Structure 1
Amino acid sequence: MKVAASGLQAQSTRLRIVSENIANARSTGETAGADPYRRKTVTFENVLDSVADLSMVRVNDINTDQSAFKIEHDPGNPAADANGNVKMPNVEMLVEMADMREANRSYDANLQVVKQARQMINMTIDLLRS
């Protein structure tokens, strides 16, 4: 259950970051030529719990994606430069949706492990009562 709980926590963080990326997919800079929102990424690491002798997962770091910004021509935008071009976030909705789906499935898998462990514990307690 402890391993599954670490997976739940890691995937929960991943889902939060993906949601933040989606929410800011159109967030430009506040002034002309300013950099817009930069996509965030999550990296995980394997952690050994020496007391329980378990290999668990945890969030190692939350970084920013350094890929280039998209440029759109929108002269009416307050963030537009002298040529009417606006730097747009480097967030790709298709990538974010795929990442969200994968994180959601991983979260569900870990949740099923917790549910099965609880069910087995309850069955064991019922057997001991008999």
Structure 2
Amino acid sequence: MNPLKAIMQQAVSGMQLESQRITVAAENISNVDTPGYRKKMLVVDPQGTSADQFAAMKQILDETPGQRDYNPSHPMADQDGYVTMSNVSLIMEMADLRGANRTYEANLNAFQQARSMYTSLLDILRR
């Protein structure tokens, strides 16, 4: 297999993974104040190969209970007057979003470099 093509395929796979991480983090951030919302987490099968890595991803819900606030007038209050809030940490989600964005950009740069090298190689071969 062409090594430059393999690099580009690996970079695309990485960008797909990071795109999914960005989506999950954005959904969590948008629901940080939604009572009862459980944080979504992206799980990647570590045994998967680079070719099927995107297919080996799945979303699961964090089972950590959210903080319970006393607010008996809230429509989602239980019989004791407590509302279970979201279990999302805004700071952790923002950090994950930033990390996913940086990794996406690194994969994009690797793809662009490999494409540039491939184009240069084709130019040399045409001469």
Range into which the TM-score falls when normalised by the shorter chain: 0.7 to 0.9
The Cα shift of 1:68 comes to 1.3
- Work out whether 1:14 is the aligned partner of 2:21: yes
Count how many residue pairs are aligned between Structure 1 and Structure 2.
Answer: 117
- Work out whether 1:107 is the aligned partner of 2:104: yes
Looking at structure 2, the residues matched to 45 and 119 of structure 1 have their Cα atoms a distance apart, in angstroms, of: 32
Give the TM-score normalised by structure 2.
Answer: 0.82
Q: Which amino acid is 2:40 matched to?
A: K
Q: Which residue, out of 113, 118, 122, partners 1:125? A: 122
Q: Which amino acid is 1:120 matched to?
A: M
Q: Runs in 1 of length 4+ with deviation above 4 angstroms? A: none
2:76 aligned residue: 79
Q: Which residue, out of 80, 93, 96, partners 2:93? A: 96
2:42 aligned residue: 42
Secondary structure in structure 2 of the residue aligned to 1:108: helix
1:32 aligned residue: none
Q: Runs of 5+ in structure 1 lacking a partner?
A: 29-35, 49-54
The Cα shift of 1:85 comes to 2.2
Give the TM-score normalised by structure 1.
Answer: 0.80
Q: Deviations over 1:15-41 (max 9, x none)?
A: 10111111111112xxxxxxx111010
The structure whose residues are more often helix, as a share, is 2
The Cα shift of 1:82 comes to 4.2
Looking at structure 2, the residues matched to 125 and 77 of structure 1 have their Cα atoms a distance apart, in angstroms, of: 66
RMSD between superposed Cα atoms in Å: 1.7
The Cα shift of 1:43 comes to 1.2
Q: Which amino acid is 1:22 matched to?
A: I
Q: Which amino acid is 1:4 matched to?
A: A
